[in-house]
Structures are given as C-alpha cells and as structure tokens.
Structure 1
Amino acid sequence: MAFEPPRRLVRALGETAPDGDGWLERLPELARQAVALRELTVERVQVPGGRSSLVVLVRRADGSPAVLKLAPPRARPLSERVALAHWGGRGAVQVLDEPDPTEGVLLLERLHPDVSVRSLPEAKALLEAAGTLRRLWVEPPAGHRFETVAERTGRQAEAMRSAAAADPEAAPLVEAALAIREELLVRPPEGVLLHGTFRQSKVLAGDRTPWLAVGPDPVVGESAFDLARLVRDRVEDLIAQPSGAATTRRRIKRLAESLEVDQERLRGWTLFRAVESGVRARRVGREKDAELLLEFAGWL
C-alpha cells in the first residue's frame, strides 16, 4: 500500500524543520522496509495521526494486532524506546520488538487509537489522566542519557528570548516565564522519569488496562513539570468560560493536591510551558493557538 503521510504530520514537521531534512521523502520506503522486515500485514495509516510520527495499524505474522510507528531523528525515537522499555507496560504502551538498525521504527502494542481520555467528561478525564501519569513517575534507569528539565527548558528559553525581542506584545509574559524558570531550577525536587509531553490525547484506551500513555518525549526532572501540560488541556474551553481563570486556579489546586505536587511549583511550570508554547505557535504562524495560550498564561 502507499504510505502517504497525513497532512497533520507534514504540516507539523514543516514547522520544526522548515527547510526539510529528507525524512518525509524517505518515509514511504522506510515504512515498506519496516513492514517487510517484521512480516507485517498493513491495515491502514492512522489519520489524522500524530504531529511527529507516522502511525500504521498492522497485524503480526501470528495475526495479533500491533502498531508500527516511524519517527524522524529530531523526534528522539530512541529515547522513546528506552523510556517505554523501562516502564515495561506499567502505565504506558508496550514495545513489542527489539531495536534494529533502522533508527526511528517501533512496533508497539495496539491500543484503541480513536478512544482517548479526552473523550470523557472533563472532570473524569483529568482524574484518569492524572492517575495514568502518576504511574510513569519512576526512578530513571541507571546511566540514562535522557535530557533533563533544565537542559530542555534551557534550549526553549533561548528561543523565547529571541522571539520576545521581535514581539513586544509577548515580551512581559516571556520575561515572567524566564524569571520563574530560574527560581524553579534553584532547588528542584529529586528528578524522576517524566513523559515529557503529557496531555489527555496521549492517553488511549487499552485492553490489558483501561488507559495507557503513548507518545512520550521523555525527560528527567520534577513531576510538576510533567503535570503542567495537563493543567491547560482543553484550553479553548477554558478561554471561552467567563470563569476560566478561576477554573484554572482550581484545577491547579486539585491536581497538585491529588498528586502531592507543590502547588506553586505547578503554577510556575504551567506558566513557563504555556508561554513557551504560545511563543512557538506565533513563530510558526499559528496565531489563533498563540492567542489562546498567551491569554491563558496571563491568568497565572
């Protein structure tokens, strides 16, 4: 079959590498090779799919369902493989194959790709997502090479400074976000392995357990950093509410208490991550997303 990348993937990769790196052009052949090597039968490409990888629903030689995932090097697929292997299926999707010379290819347990926690009512979705996230916060493997929160946010901070210089409107929020990052990194709690890009849509229905996380971009650091992205889930709904700011503050309090995370640290990382995402969205021309995220950050 033709392994045509979904438009969402093409658009998202164009934002992260506007000059291209050749991976999309090689993708159809990479997919064909991966399918042949593993003796898989292809059912369909998942659409709209993710923003950093091609996801293909397949069956193995014994007829059992699986997912073939192909990601470019910039998506750090090796880190994803190592993290998933370390979790061993506890709270996250399982890896079904061993590493091969083709970097960026994973064969994964089949979940229910069209059923995420986001399909639940908001209060129930937050509860289930938070419970799933808690299971992932474990000690990282010995000798790990995962990026730390300080390293990742350091790269992001440099890009934010550059963006703020060209965007006076966002500059005050950027300054506040950078200042709070510096405060948070002075005496951080002990680091654990984090999902890195956790949100409701990253939690899918499974068979061996009701909900499992997918698509990590793992990082090592304090749990409040991971939880911060969950705070702003369904941000468009929050912005549309007259009581959106108050709802956000209650959400921070509720999540912090339920997962035993310091409330002020959660608020701080929520601010930093929202501003970083908003500035990045504006840089690549997603103005509507930028406006929502920066307005949300202003509540914090």
Structure 2
Amino acid sequence: MGIKSFSELKEKVLKMSAKRVVVAAAHDKDVIESVVESMKVGIVKTPILIGDAQKIENIIKDFGENLNDFEIVDSSSDEESGKLAVKYIKEKKAEILVKGKLETVFYLKPILDKETGIKKSGVLSNLTLFEMPSYHKFISVTDNAIIPVPTMEEKKYIIENTKILYNALEIETPKVALLSALEVINTKVESTIDAACLTQMYQRGQIKGFIIDGPLAYDTAIDKKSADSKKLKGSEVAGDPDILIVPNLESGNILGKAYKFHADAKSGGVVLGASVPVVLNSRSDGADRRFNSMLIARSIAEMV
C-alpha cells in the first residue's frame, strides 16, 4: 500500500539513525526551528549552520538550545554561504544539504558547478510531495522549481529521478500522469507530443519501474469519473496518480500553491538528481513545511 501521509513517513524515519545536515544561510527563525525539531526527534545530529553567526547564535539562544550542539560557520554573503555548504557536502562532513534564507540562484549555482558541484543525474529536478484531505494518498508535483520548460529528454530524467523517493515511500511501481491541457495529441501543443512519446517509451520498455500515461488533462488525471466520461477507461493512471509531471515550471509552481492555499495541503519538497538529498525551501516556508522536507530528505539519504 505504501506510505500515504507525513505522520506515516515520520514514523518510518524515526527508526533511522540521525544524519548531519548543512544549512546555507541559516540565520532565520523558521529555518533553525525546523532544524531544532529535527534534532529533538533524532533525525539530525550536530547540524552545520552557515550564515550570519551572531544572528544564528541569538536565534538558538531564543529557543533555549545549547550552542555546543551546533557547528556555526560565519559567512558574509549568500553567495559564500551557498559555496561553503556544497564544500561541506563534497568533503563528506554532512549528508543532507538544506536551503536557508538565501536566493535560489546562490544555492543552486554551486550545486550545479561542473567542477565542484554535486549533480549526479542528467538533470536536477524539484519534487513537492502533498498530503491533502481531498486525495486518498500522497501526490507529488515535479519539476516545479528548477527547469523552466523541460525537453522530452529532460522529462524522462525527471520521471526517473522520482524512483528513489517512491522506493522510500514503499511504492514499488508509482503511477505517473503526464499533464497537458488535453488528452489527445495536438501538434501545436508540444506537451501533448512529449507526453505521447514518453508513454510510448514506457510501453516499449525504455522507461522501467513506473506506470505512465499521457497526455492527460488535470481533471482526467486526478478524477476517475472525468476520465471515464472522456473514454479513458483503460488508463491505469487516471484517477489514481502518484506523480504529476507538469509541462513547465510555471504550471507546477501554480498547481503547488493552489494545493497549499485552497486544498489544505501539507507539503514538503526535495531536489532529486544530486549526490545527496537537497532541500530547496522557499524563503516564505514555515517551520512545518521545512520539517516535512527534512523527513523526505532523511528518508532517501542512504539511497542516493
């Protein structure tokens, strides 16, 4: 059946050993709160906090925590924080990389550096995992943060990147919906062509370990009745997807925010395709979402 909620995921992760995390630009209350919570439940040990050292120390003291439980590294800029964080990962001083209060460009640039970065797959892709009352299990949206308009080849990597997480969620063969605006191929709508080709690649055994269907409009992907009304009764994915592959970053970003604000969704995210789990939180994310992201990252830490 697989893991269907963050409470179930937390139960699994709590049975694992703690890992060291390094946080780039950690001088933020919500960032440190999520780290402290992760330490208290045993997910994280002796975190490395890079950023404005004085601010970091003050926040830790405000939480009533012992400064000796943390390694604090002073940094003068976001750019330096991002580079130092990746350096700690490369030197194997930490096993999970976490974004703090810095701009995404300063976080991703050292990760993607061809000489000193930690990219492992053909592409890096961000996945957000959602739990919401209106759906019967976890559902994820990818890529919603890194690749503006992925090519068909990049979408193949995006699909394959998800396998590691779904292994952790104990879902042997995740169902993948390739989203577009319609369910038929239209040569003027490139996402329909990509989806049809990727579905054919799956059917011919070129993509393994998934059940894939597309193109699917959102209603037919997520709702079985809508799929049946459009004569998609043979689809193994329609009405029951685990993963939504969006046609571009904008649609993924909008969909995720709609879930957050209108579907009472709990969420967490992780960047896949690197040599370690990478957490790419928004600067506006609260401590709860950051903690959920830490759970996801820890669940795959041995698998990357």
- Does the TM-score normalized on the shorter chain lie above 0.5? no
TM-score (norm 2): 0.25
Structure with the higher helix share, 1 or 2: 1
TM-score by length of 1: 0.26
RCO (CA 8 Å, sep 6+): is it higher in 1 or 2? Answer: 2
